[in-house]
Each structure stands twice: as C-alpha cells, then as structure tokens.
Amino acid sequence: MRFSAGSLQVLGHPLPRATGQVQRHSALANFADIDSLDDGLTPREVLTERAGLLTPLWRRVPGWRDPAIAGLLDQVFVDRPIPDPDVRIWELSALDTTLLRIAMALMGGPLLLVVDDIDALHDPADQLAVWRTLQRLTDDGPVAPRPERAGLPLTVIASAAAPDLVPPQVRWVDPHGASAATLVLTPVPAQEG
C-alpha cells in the first residue's frame, strides 16, 4: 500500500523511494500465505530451504547443525525444547510452528522484524511465550548470521487483537485507537540498582 500524503522513513530510508533498501533489512513472520510452512515438510527441510535462498551460490548451504542456525534456534526456543528436525510440520504445536517461522525470518539478519497476528495462537500461555521471545530478541539482539550486522539492535513490530495479553514492558503504538494494536518492541533499558 502506498501512502497519499506526508513522508515516511523506515530504518533511515525514505519510502517509497528506497523500498528495496528497507526490504533488504526487514523480515516478516507469521503472515498467512506469505511465510506459511508446508505441513508435509520437516523443520530441517524448511530451514535448509530458507538457508539455500539466503546463501550465495559459491558457499555451502548451512544445515540444521550449523553453529549459526543452531544458535538462532537456541535463542528463539530458549524456554522450550527445539523441535525434532525430522518430524512433519503438521505434528508441531502451534507455538513451535510460530517460533520456527520467527527463526526462519531471523536467518537473513534483519534489523526490523514484523510479526503478524500473535493472537492466532489461541492459548494465552503460547501468546505470552511469543511475546517473551520477541522481547528477549530485542533486548539481547538475535544471533547475527550476517557478521556486518552483529551487535546492531533489532526492532520488532507485532500485531495483536488482544492487547490485554501483552506483557507490560512492550511499548505500544495504537495509531487507530481501535481494540487491536500494533506493538513495537524495543530493548528495555536496564534498571539501575
């Protein structure tokens, strides 16, 4: 969608003129029909496929046990076991599938991660687990698969229709005053004392 008035900058790049620059530094997760996973594949297969798309032709495609992928999975699934790499996607819980989609989005080393519809997870405990994961990623910074982005902060924009389930440390942006909210997660400053 294009805006009809005003100006917009994302990551310091003016839109729509620098759309390509913004796309190179951004990733999407949990968007129906954009990053949906094929239920007949395994976590190993979908991560290897994503890695293949991101890897230059002259380099070896990293696999499930590659340190960068293993580190990213450890960081995303920190509070729960990493799924078996050889089970079918349809056998995974909704939470594990969502976390896998987030991990796949982070494989490109984005500076901006946009996550849609967190309350598609019907269990409030699962929603809370995703919010905590996203907040941790902004606080710690994701494992950087691209060395030039190591140490750079990650900003997460996430949407939810049930804002009462969002942890209090998440900074809110609700441009429409509606019951649904767009939420922006940024690193939480360390408390003194």
Q: Does the residue 3 lie in any domain? A: no
Burial of 101 (0-12, 13-18, 19+ CB in 10 A): buried
Q: Does the residue 109 lie in any domain? A: yes
Over 60: is that where the pLDDT of 70 sits? Answer: yes
Q: Does the residue 133 lie in any domain? A: yes
For the chain, what's the residue count? 193
**Measured between alpha carbons, how far is 167 from 61 in angstroms, rounded to an integer?**
37
Two tokens at 138?
A: 């902004």
pLDDT mean over 91-97:
96
Question: Which of 47, 134, 29 is closest to 83 using CA atoms?
Answer: 47
CATH number at 91 reads: 3.40.50.300
Sign of torsion over alpha carbons 94, 97, 101, 103: positive
**Measured between alpha carbons, how far is 166 from 84 in angstroms, rounded to an integer?**
29
Q: Does the residue 154 lie in any domain? A: yes
Q: How far apart are the first and last CA of the chain?
A: 46
Full residue range of the structural domain in which residue 89 is found: 8-185
Q: Does the residue 64 lie in any domain? A: yes
pTM of the model: 0.81
**Measured between alpha carbons, how far is 13 from 9 in angstroms, rounded to an integer?**
5
Q: Does the residue 69 lie in any domain? A: yes
Mean pLDDT of the chain, nearest integer: 80
pLDDT digits (tens, 9 = 90+) for 171-191: 665 554 544 445 555 555 544
Number of folded domains in the chain? 1
pLDDT mean over 33-50:
91
Q: Does the residue 43 lie in any domain? A: yes
Over 90: is that where the pLDDT of 43 sits? Answer: yes
